[in-house]
Amino acid sequence: MKQRIRNFLLTLAFGLVVGAFGYSQLTARQHARDLAAARAEGRAAAEKALADEMAALKPVVLKPVASERPKADGTRFAYEYVKPKTPELEPFYALASKEDMLRQLPEIKAIDGLLVLPKPIKFVAAECREPDAFYSPERGEVVMCYETMKVLLERGEELTREHGLDEDHARRYLVANVRFIVLHETGHALIDLLDIPVTGREEDAVDQLATTLMLRFAGKDESSGAVAENLRMASNWFLVRSTGAYNLDAYADEHALGEQRYFNLQCLLYGSDPVRYVGLVADGTLPEARAKMCPAEAHRVSKAWLRLLLPHVAPKYEMTEEKANQAFERRQRERNRDAEVPYVR
Ligand SMILES: [Zn+2]
């Protein structure tokens, strides 16, 4: 009996141990299953989250943004013609406002809306009390004074009388000079607004910009001869204001001497197309020693301004240096083709 009881107890004890073992094994298996399930669930959740994320991203990744949003346009300029108080300036107000002269300058037309600026440039024609033209950084204005227009017209009339030129010459002289002066001041405005780096004299840099713009962006209907005539009338103005005798103030001035500005402009004109403008060297307008350097100088100046302004061209135009040069060359070819005769002085 004792033996049976002992066997029972042993069996029970063994059973309990096995049972306990079996239980723990069962628990471990269950745990592993739970863990796998949890992992699977976690993975599924993570996969779903990723899929959701991808789905959310898809419209952005797959749809080209460019085609949906129009690319940014450039900054448009503003224009104003202020009525003068002095009666003798009235005709210049009438001339400028009637023709919307500042807006219609071909080079201004070409760059109006081309560049992205921190604020618009306003082109103003106004009475200033003395002949002048300037850029006002505070007001963001390029101002052409009626007094300057008056002096320019008088000079044009003088030249017409002296050289027996055609009737329209004085008006062309006025417009060509307004054009150059406004572009010169626009250069100051661009340097200020776009924080364009300039080494050397800013006055030289903006003369170069004005000349380059008049060579590159002249109207399609203007022949090479007309472009050259405009630039030569602009350079004539430098000589008119020069006395030829200078004091220290003139040498110290921020502007180069009138004669130097004159030759710098001739150099860029000749250098832009040496074959067409060879007459400038032949007749002694541009000394040969300087002329030799001019094709390289004209190319350098044009390239420098193009590279300085390209980063500010509105994205809409997708402009590159190559595309810009191709456009310039195309325009040059059209102009040369349209020219009735090669330029003769
Ligand atoms: Zn200046």
Helix ranges (H only) for 123-201 are 146-163, 169-193
Contact criterion met (CB below 8 Å) for 223 and 339: yes
pLDDT score of 57: 47
By percentage, how much of the chain surpasses pLDDT 70? 77
Beta strands in the chain (DSSP E): 78-81, 122-126, 133-136, 141-145
Q: pTM here?
A: 0.77
Distance from residue 101's CA to the centre of ligand 1 (Å)? 21
Helix ranges, 164-292 (H): 169-193, 202-216, 224-240, 248-252, 258-272, 279-282, 288-291
Q: How far is CA 339 from CA 11, 242, 334, in A?
A: 122, 33, 9
Q: How far is the CA of 250 from the centre of ligand 1 (A)?
A: 15
How far is ligand 1, taken at its centre, from the CA of residue 289, in Å? 27
Q: Ligand 1 centroid to 17 CA: how many Å?
A: 104
How many residues does the structure list for the chain? 345
Distance from residue 205's CA to the centre of ligand 1 (Å) = 9
Please tell me the distance between residue 140's alpha carbon and the centre of ligand 1 in angstroms: 15
Determine the distance separating the centroid of ligand 1 and the alpha carbon of 124, expressed in angstroms.
Answer: 16
Cα 185 to ligand 1 centroid, rounded to whole Å:
6
Amino acid at 242: S
Q: How far, in Å, is the centroid of ligand 1 from the Cα of 238?
A: 13
284 sits in the region (left: phi over 0; alpha: psi -120 to 50; else beta) called left
d(CA 281, CA 197): 33
The reported pLDDT for the residue numbered 40 is: 60
12 band by pLDDT with thresholds 50, 70 and 90:
very low
Token match 């991808």: residue? 54
pLDDT band for position 87 (50/70/90)? very high
The Å distance, Cα 227 to ligand 1 centre, comes to 22
d(CA 200, CA 203): 9
pLDDT digit string, tens, across residues 32-44: 555 555 556 666 6
How far apart (Å, rounded) are the C-alpha atoms in residues 42 and 49? 10
Band the pLDDT of 64: cuts 50, 70, 90.
very low
**Sign of the CA dihedral with 321 first, then 317, 114, and 65 last:** negative
CA atoms of 187 and 177, how far apart (whole Å): 15
Here the tokens at position 237 are 């103005």
- pLDDT, one tens digit per residue, over 121-176 is 999 999 999 999 999 999 999 999 999 999 999 999 999 999 999 989 999 999 99
Q: How confident is the model at residue 18 (pLDDT cuts 50, 70, 90)?
A: very low
75: CA distance to ligand 1 center in Å?
A: 23
pLDDT score of 43? 62
* Cα(256)–Cα(267) distance, integer angstroms: 15
For residue 203, the CA-to-ligand 1 centroid distance in Å is 5
Q: 181 CA distance to ligand 1 centroid (A)?
A: 8
- The Cβ-side half-sphere exposure at 307, using a 13 Å CA radius, reads 8
211-257 pLDDT, tens digit each: 999 999 988 788 888 999 999 999 998 888 777 778 888 888 888 88
Res. 2: pLDDT tops 80? no
Residue type, 141: E
- Measured in Å, residue 147 CA sits from the centre of ligand 1 at 17
pLDDT in tens, 256-310: 888 999 999 999 999 999 999 999 999 999 999 999 999 999 999 999 999 999 9
CA dihedral 256, 262, 263, 265 (to 10 degrees): 100
Q: How far is the CA of 274 from the centre of ligand 1 (A)?
A: 28
